[in-house]
Amino acid sequence: MPDSLPNTDSYWMPFTANRQFKARPKLLVSAKDMHYKTADGATLLDGTAGLWCVNAGHSRPKIVEAIQRQAAELDYAPPFQVAHPAAFENASRVAALLPGDLNKVFFVNSGSESVDTALKIAIAYHRVRGQGTRTRIIGRERGYHGVGFGGISVGGIPNNRKVFGSLLTGVDHLPHTHNLEHNAFSRGQPEWGAHLADSLEGIVALHDASNIAAVIVEPMAGSTGVLIPPKGYLQRLREICDRHGILLIFDEVISGFGRLGTAFATEFFGVTPDIVTCAKGINSGTVPMGAVIVRDGIYDAFMQGPPEVIELFHGYTCSAHPMAVAASLATLDLYREEGIFENAAALSSYFEDAVHSLRGLPNVIDVRNLGLVAGIELAPIPGKPTARAYDVFTRCFFDIGILIRTTGDIIALSPPLIITRAQVDELVGKLAIAIKAAA
C-alpha cells in the first residue's frame, strides 16, 4: 500500500461492505479514456464505464474544458423562477434524442431523483386531469429504480427494501422476466417470456384501472443482474397500459445515451413510453445530473390554471446546475462528433461473440447480452451467495487489471462506448482468467 493511504474512518461508503473494504481498500486515483489508475499504480481497463455512466470515456478534454469554463463563468444559478440560457439548450438537445412527442425535460441530479420525480409527475398528472383516484404505481420484481422512498417502493430488490419500514403505499409488482430454464445463454433478446407482461392485466383487474397511475420498468434491467426483455414483452406492456389509460414509464438511467447502440432503449425496442427517466450518461458521469422527459400532453395538462401559479411544486436546488449542463452539452457534442452510439451499435455483435466465449468456463451458468451490456451468471458457492463473484471482482481489481461490477453472483460488463475490438478481447480474455482462478 502506498504511504498516501487515507484515514478511512469517517467515510460511510454507499452500497459497500465498509469493514471489508477498509481492510483492503480498492482506490482509484485517476482515469483516462478506457483506463483507471489505482493507488498502487496499477492500470485497470474499465469494463463498467465507472458505474454504467462514463459512456464517452474518462476525462475527455472537451468535457473537462467545458466544466472548467463554466465553473469560472457562472458557478451557480438558482433554478426556481430564474434560469440560465444553456439549460434550455440542454433540454432541447436531450428531447431531440427521444422519439415522438417526448419533448419536455425536467432536470434533476441523479437517477434516484429522476425516478421519484417521474412518479410524482405521473400521480399529479392524473389528478390535474380530474382522475385523482389514479394513485397506484406498478413496478416489477428485481427492478432497480434508485434509493429514494419512491424508487425502493416500486423497485423489486429485497435488500434495498426490507429494513426501511412501510415505504410508499399503493404499490404492486409485476413478475420479473428472468428465467434460466427457458432462456439461458440467449444471444440478445430471449424468445421466451412475452406472456409475462400479461400479468399486468391481472393486477389491473385486482386494483381496477381507475386506481392505477403508472407502470415503471427498466426496458433492460441492468443493476439487478442484466435482465434482457423477452421479444414482444415491452410491446405487450405498452398495449395493456394503453388499453387502461395507464402511463408507461421507462427507467433509462442505464439504457439511455447509447448503451444499446441507439440514443435510448425506446428506439432500440421500438416502444415509446409516456415518461423516460435518465441520468448517468447524460454527461458521461462527470457531474451529478439526471432528467425526466415527458410527452407534450403531460406537460400541457399541467399548464391549465392561472399563469402566475406554479404548476408543479417540485424541484431541486441543483436542478439544471450550470456545471452539469455544460458537461452535458459537451458530452452530447462528443457523442455526435465521434459517432459514439454508432460505435456501440457496430461493436455489439463482436461483443456478443466475445462474451459468449465464456460459456463452458467453470461455474458459468448463463451468459446474456444486449448492446454493450453483458451479464455472466455464476453458480453460487453453496451456503455463500455472492462470494464467488466477489472473488472474481477482487482478483480482477488487484491481480488482473480490469474493473468489473458484480451483483449477487452475476458479473456485469458495460464498458465505455468508445471501447475497441482489441479492448473487448482484452476485457473478456482477462475475465476468463479470473473466472478460472476463482473459487
CB under 8 Å to 266, separation ≥6 — which residues? 98, 99, 102, 219, 250, 252, 272, 273, 276
Give buried/exposed letters for 104-142 (b at 16+ CB in 10 A, else e): bbbbbbbbbbbbbbbbebbbbbbebeeeeebbbbbbbbb
Q: Which of residues 38-57 bind ligand PXG (CB under 6 A)?
A: 51-52
Strand order across the 35-38 sheet: 28-32, 35-38, 43-46, 402-403
Q: Does 139 bind ligand PXG (CB under 6 A)?
A: no
User: DSSP assignment, residue 399?
Assistant: I
Q: How many residues bind ligand PLP (CB under 6 A)?
A: 3
* Grid cell at residue 343: 460505435
When asked if residue 253 is in the footprint of ligand PXG (CB under 6 A), the reply is yes
| Residue whose cell numbers read 461455474 | 363
Shortest CB 290 distance to ligand PLP, Å: 12
Q: Which is nearer to ligand PXG, 222 or 415 (CB)?
A: 222
30 binds ligand PLP (CB under 6 A): no
Pairing of strands 405-407, 410-413: antiparallel
Measured from the CB atom, is 192 or 316 closer to ligand PLP? 316
**In 296-426, which ranges are E strands?**
364-370, 373-378, 402-403, 405-407, 410-413
Closer CB to ligand PLP, 81 or 169, in the complex: 81
Q: How many CA atoms lie within 13 A of 251 on its CB side?
A: 29
Q: Is 149 in the site for ligand PLP (CB under 6 A)?
A: no
Q: Are 95 and 105 in contact (CB under 8 A)?
A: yes
As measured in angstroms, the least distance from the Cβ of 15 to ligand PXG is 6
What is the DSSP code string of 38-78?
ETTS-EEEESSHHHHT-TT-BT-HHHHHHHHHHHHH-----
Selected binder of ligand PLP within 192, 316, 350, 398 (CB under 6 A): 316
Least distance CB 155 / ligand PXG (angstroms) = 8
From residue 272 to residue 301, the character string flagging contacts with ligand PXG as x (rule: CB under 6 A) and all else as - is -------x----------------------
CA-wise closest residue to 378 among 404, 350, 359: 359
Q: Which residue is nearest to ligand PXG (CB)?
A: 111
Q: Per CB under 6 A, does 398 bind ligand PLP?
A: no
Residue list 187-206, contact with ligand PLP (CB under 6 A): none
Smaller CB separation from ligand PXG, 106 or 301: 106
Q: Are 248 and 282 in contact (CB under 8 A)?
A: no
Q: Which of 203, 247, 318, 431 forms a contact with ligand PLP (CB under 6 A)?
A: 318
Options 218-226, 291-299, 313-321, 337-345: segment touching ligand PLP (CB under 6 A): 313-321
> What does 316 interact with, of ligand PXG, ligand PLP, none (CB < 5 to 8 A by kind)?
ligand PLP
Which range of residues in 35-43, 111-119, 237-245, 394-402 is near ligand PXG by CB under 6 A?
111-119
User: Would you call 82 helix, strand, or coil by DSSP?
Assistant: coil
**Residues at the site binding ligand PXG, with contacts judged by CB under 6 A:** 51-52, 110-112, 115, 144-146, 218, 222-223, 251, 253-254, 279, 405, 407, 412
Footprint on this chain of ligand PLP (rule: CB under 6 A):
316-318
